Amino acid sequence: MLNVGQRVRLAADLRLAGSVIPAEEPPEETGAFVASVALAAGVEGTVERVDEHHRQQSHEVREYLRLKSLLDDFGHQMPPGSRRQLEEQVRALEEQWAAYQRRMLRVTVRVRLDNGFVLDDVPEEAFASA
């Protein structure tokens, strides 16, 4: 995980493309210009901000957590048939739980590059420690 103030370098070539509007125009105006900027891997800069974005839990994930907690806390006291049924319900939701864990936390950064460019809301994987 990257930290504020840390020196980083761009891990891969990036091409930024999209519409461009002059700074004095309101953001809701559509720009008449289209632009593209290429940044080479290895460009260094400093991390200015780190943002952690927690993903929303789906109904299935919340249900998995509820059932798993019930199984862990009271499963040993349950009749064998009820316990088996609860274990089957938990197993049926494990795939959704695993998928949620893989994408549970998304970290983005704002980096001021040495060339003056500022990249904001970029996944931290785009950078490596310098």
| Helix count and strand count (H, E) for the chain | 2, 7
Q: How does the average pLDDT of the chain come out, rounded?
A: 89
Rank 5-9, 17-21, 120-124 by mean pLDDT and report only the highest. 5-9
Instruction: Decide: 47 and 4 in contact? Cβ < 8 Å.
Output: yes
24 phi and psi, to 5 degrees?
A: -80, -10
Alpha carbon distance 35, 19 (integer Å): 6
pLDDT for 100 beyond 90: no
CA atoms within 13 A on the CB side of 81: 0
Mean pLDDT of 105-127: 92
- Stretch 39-61: mean pLDDT: 92
